[in-house]
Amino acid sequence: MSSRMSNVTNPRLLRRVRRKVRIKKKIDRQKGLIARLVVTRSNKFLYAQLVDDLRGNTLAQGNTREKGFEPLKSKKGCEAAARLGKLVGERALAVKVDRILFDRNGYDYHGRIKAIADGAREAGLKF
């Protein structure tokens, strides 16, 4: 897989995919025991969803495209990320999930990704 990827993709994406595989191995050890919070970035928006791998269900989700994020200047910045983390954390507590695994999807743990995690912790989730 990696030899094929190195021929077709840019080095930054290749590093992210390698990190993603490494993170996935750690998450697979806990699979089914705890729900996981999956974070995804795009060029304009941020997305987060709480997934129960045992049943294959999405328990809660949120993104910066929702109406509550309209007054913000940027829907992809750290402020929006912190609000998204808090929103998803509150929705997770509403479905009685208080302990999660954080799946950062291969992204570095700083900036927007860290802000989502901190917002979720602030809402009451335990990692």
Residue 39 lies in domain:
2-123
Q: What pLDDT is recorded for position 81? A: 97
Domain count, the chain: 1
Q: What CATH number is given to the structural domain containing 34?
A: 3.30.420.100
Q: How far apart are CA 29 and CA 27, in angstroms?
A: 5
- Residue where the block lists tokens 């912790």: 121
Q: What pLDDT is recorded for position 30? A: 84
Would you give per-residue pLDDT tens digits along the chain (127 residues)? 555 555 657 888 888 989 999 998 888 888 778 999 999 999 999 999 999 988 989 999 999 999 999 999 999 999 999 999 999 999 999 999 999 999 999 999 999 999 999 999 999 999 8
> Structure tokens of 29?
């050890």
Burial of 88 (0-12, 13-18, 19+ CB in 10 A): buried
Backbone conformation region of residue 23, classed left if phi is above 0, alpha if psi is from -120 to 50, else beta: alpha
Q: What pLDDT is recorded for position 11? A: 86
Per the CB < 8 A criterion, the answer to whether 111 and 82 are in contact is no
